[in-house]
Structure 1
Amino acid sequence: MKVWPDGHPKGKAMARRQRDILDAARACFVRTGYGGTSMDAIAAAAGISLMTLYRHAESKDDLFAATISDACRATDDAERRYFESLFALPFRELLVTSGIHMQAKFFRPDNIALMRLVIAESSVFPHLLQLAYEGIPGHFENLAAIIISAKCDVDDEEIAEAARLYIDCLLGGEVLRLLLGQGERPDADQRRRAELAADVVLGMLEAGPAC
């Protein structure tokens, strides 16, 4: 999508309009898929003319890629502040509390719908698979690495491996269940997965002097 330079006199207004377009496009793509969505439908959903829409996006392909990229953009600052507020907790409690929060965020219906959409359109937009992975599970791996590094004095490679293992234990087969349309499990299951993930990471790091 078109990007306006900093200081452009219409930059703020254009950014607000672009936000409306991206929100409308995401709703349309999720509801009717890529093939079933037209630029006319997106313009109508955003409350703008088709001509205005084309001032922001050159094509439906361009808008689809921008929509996925926008949806995957991590809210790093807000998330980081939340997890940093938990750092005073004992390590296992920190991992469990963080794991419950991550599952609640990851398993939101809009994230599941987004992943289904990316998979459905992967033959046309194969690069979006990597983008979606980096933006959703990859984002949580990065947060897990921040949590582990705050408590453990180990090298970056071991932190990255522990973070991947932690997220695998948290999400695991539950992602497949939800992608296939099965209902989300009770909150108690989220706690059990978080406790399992915490214990696996502690076992891997041996919870020795480094942690």
Structure 2
Amino acid sequence: MTNPPRLTDRKREAILQAAIAEFRASGYEATSMDKIAATADVSKRTVYNHFPSKDDLFAAILQQLWESSAAMSELSYSAARPLREQLLELMQQKMRMMSDAHFMDLARVAIAAAIHSPERAVEMLSRIGKREEGVTVWIRAAQADGKLKPADPEFAAMLLQGQLKTFAFWPQIAMGQGPLAEDRQAAVVSTIVDMFLAYFQTEAN
């Protein structure tokens, strides 16, 4: 049987969720620890017991974003499986992550803070960006196997993932659109993969 979260853990999570809500609503600079405490329904002393400063609290939010991204399993290239099947799985993984409300909330907070104070977020956002290297590694392996043309793998990965974000990340981040419906997700992933392979797949395959 799983033990219920301790009171201190519940309070810490309430503080984090309140901070995410307040940072989203008012931005980093305009959000006070007092406001976060009120939203979390805890004392200001409790907030400072968990997070000595607003910077520490923001860093914890960015850490959650990193962990959400890092939790996504990586798909290794397989010479025995069809390219399209593997690419569909890769892009479906990313689509699921971008459809997760918690991940998107964290991303909005991080991006908004990075715009106003880049030095606060640049290291963590850089770490998150490195999670996309998994696609680059996959492309490089497919090239070594002669299945994809010998183009710059980082450029190819950026093209592939950039198209996905055009539909399933930036409209939600910048314009407040909801996540794509499941049928739309499938159509976007399928089209992006087919376009990528039409250009990069070698003629022999």
TM bucket (normalised to shorter chain) is 0.5 to 0.7
- 2:106 matches 1:114: yes
- 2:53 matches 1:59: yes
Distance 1:132 1:189 in 2: 31
2:23 to 23, 29, 32: 29
- 2:56 matches 1:80: no
Deviation at 1:59, TM superposition (A): 1.8
2:85 to 72, 86, 93: 93
Runs of 4+ that moved beyond 6 A:
44-48, 154-157
Please say which of residues 126-135 and 91-100 is displaced more in the overlay: 126-135
2:137 to 119, 138, 146: 146
Secondary structure of 1:58's aligned partner? coil
Where does the alignment leave 5 or more consecutive residues of structure 1 unmatched?
A: 1-12
User: What residue is the counterpart of 2:169 in the other structure?
Assistant: 175
Seen in structure 2, the aligned counterparts of structure 1 residues 28 and 162 have a Cα distance that, compared at 3 Å, is: same
Residue type of the alignment partner of 2:202: A
Secondary structure of 2:180's aligned partner? coil
What is the CA deviation profile of residues 118-175 of structure 1, one whole-angstrom value per residue up to 9, with x for unaligned ones? 3443454223564565355x25522312332443317997222221111012122443
Secondary structure of 2:61's aligned partner? helix
Secondary structure of 1:182's aligned partner? coil
Is the 8 Å Cα contact of residues 96 and 195 (structure 1) preserved in structure 2? yes
Distance 1:80 1:156 in 2: 26
Distance 1:24 1:110 in 2: 13
User: What residue is the counterpart of 2:195 in the other structure?
Assistant: 200
Deviation at 1:42, TM superposition (A): 4.1
Seen in structure 2, the aligned counterparts of structure 1 residues 87 and 46 have a Cα distance that, compared at 3 Å, is: farther
Please say which of residues 153-162 and 190-199 is displaced more in the overlay: 153-162
Distance 1:59 1:25 in 2: 12
Deviation at 1:95, TM superposition (A): 0.6
Superposition RMSD on alpha carbons, in Å? 4.0
Please say which of residues 61-70 and 23-32 is displaced more in the overlay: 23-32
1:126 to 115, 118, 132: 118
Is the 8 Å Cα contact of residues 139 and 153 (structure 2) preserved in structure 1? yes
Seen in structure 2, the aligned counterparts of structure 1 residues 184 and 49 have a Cα distance that, compared at 3 Å, is: closer
TM-score by length of structure 1 reads 0.66
Where does the alignment leave 5 or more consecutive residues of structure 2 unmatched?
A: 1-5
Is the 8 Å Cα contact of residues 11 and 42 (structure 2) preserved in structure 1? no
Is the 8 Å Cα contact of residues 143 and 150 (structure 2) preserved in structure 1? no
Is the 8 Å Cα contact of residues 166 and 201 (structure 1) preserved in structure 2? yes
Deviation at 1:98, TM superposition (A): 2.0
User: What residue is the counterpart of 1:70 in the other structure?
Assistant: 64
TM-score by length of structure 2 reads 0.68
Distance 1:158 1:85 in 2: 17
Deviation at 1:180, TM superposition (A): 0.5
